[in-house]
Amino acid sequence: MLVFVRTVIIYVLVLIVMRFMGKREIGQMQPFELVISIMIADLASTPMAETGIPILYGIIPILGLLFMHIIISVLNIKSVKMRGIICGKPRILIDKGKIDETALIKENFTINELQERLRVNNVNNITDVEYAILETSGQISVILKSEKRTVTPEDLNLKVEPTNISYDLIVDGKIMYDNLMKLGKDKKWLEDEALKLNFIPSQALIFVLNGDGTFFYQTKIKK
């Protein structure tokens, strides 16, 4: 029971700390964020299982790492120079269609790894690439040659309507009042729109107002 209680406490603490650290995926973390995440995982595991170690010996270091993360994040935002020191700088691996071998060596990148990253970006032919940039998160941004890029409405001199965001109106039978407020609508409007589609709000698994002004809905399975 003691181990269980300690585990719950540490879990809740780590969950709160990771929430404060933001919503980045592992592949998008900056180096300092990844280091802190690994250290938190290590610090959290010990006091959960070792009942002889006071739980504060796990809590205090984790909070200390959160404090360090906040300090480094502030420096990262406020100072361009510190940002370069902490996170590094992007490096061009392919420049104007030519592979920069020196850049590959400095970043410990092989040709095969470069090709793999390009394939992840849906680029099969390295000859199609104008620029490939290794970002500070480790991701590679690819800019294709002009003749290989997807045609856009601007290329065809076409005017298109701006894209609007979609809003969830009902999720699992629950009305999303915050989204209704953003739209300047009320519950009566929602009920009227649902009635036009022959269902009531409590029956909806999901009811969405799409960006183009149309609706998407699906009702729950009747039990």
pLDDT of residue 174: 92
Token look-up 């595991």 returns 45
For the cut 80, the answer to whether the pLDDT of residue 111 exceeds it is yes
131 pairs with which residues across the strands? 95, 143
Q: Which residue has the higher pLDDT, 185 or 58?
A: 185
- As a whole number, mean pLDDT of residues 92-120 equals 91
For the cut 80, the answer to whether the pLDDT of residue 108 exceeds it is yes
- Give the start-to-end residue ranges of the domains of the chain: 2-85, 91-148, 167-219
The answer to whether the 91-148 and 167-219 domains have the same CATH topology is yes
Q: At what angle do helices 56-78 and 31-49 cross, to 10 degrees?
A: 170
For the cut 70, the answer to whether the pLDDT of residue 29 exceeds it is no
pLDDT of residue 197: 92
Rounded distance, CA 162 to CA 172, Å? Answer: 30
**Comparing C-alpha atoms, which of 54, 66, 59, 51 is closest to residue 9?**
59
Cβ–Cβ under 8 Å, residues 94 and 84: no
CATH of domain 167-219: 3.30.240.20
For 91-148, the fitting CATH number among 3.90.180.10, 2.60.450.10, 3.30.240.20, 3.20.20.10 is 3.30.240.20
- As a whole number, mean pLDDT of residues 6-33 equals 72
pLDDT of residue 148: 83
Model pLDDT for residues 71-97, shown as the tens digit of each residue = 888 887 888 788 777 777 889 999 999
pLDDT of residue 208: 95
pLDDT of residue 176: 93
Model pLDDT for residues 172-214, shown as the tens digit of each residue = 999 999 999 999 999 999 999 999 999 999 999 999 999 888 9
- Give residue 168's pLDDT band: very low, low, confident or very high (50, 70, 90): very high
pLDDT of residue 142: 92
- As a whole number, mean pLDDT of residues 40-53 equals 77
Strand arrangement of the beta sheet that strand 140-144 belongs to = 98-99, 91-95, 129-134, 140-144
For the cut 60, the answer to whether the pLDDT of residue 26 exceeds it is no
pLDDT of residue 175: 93
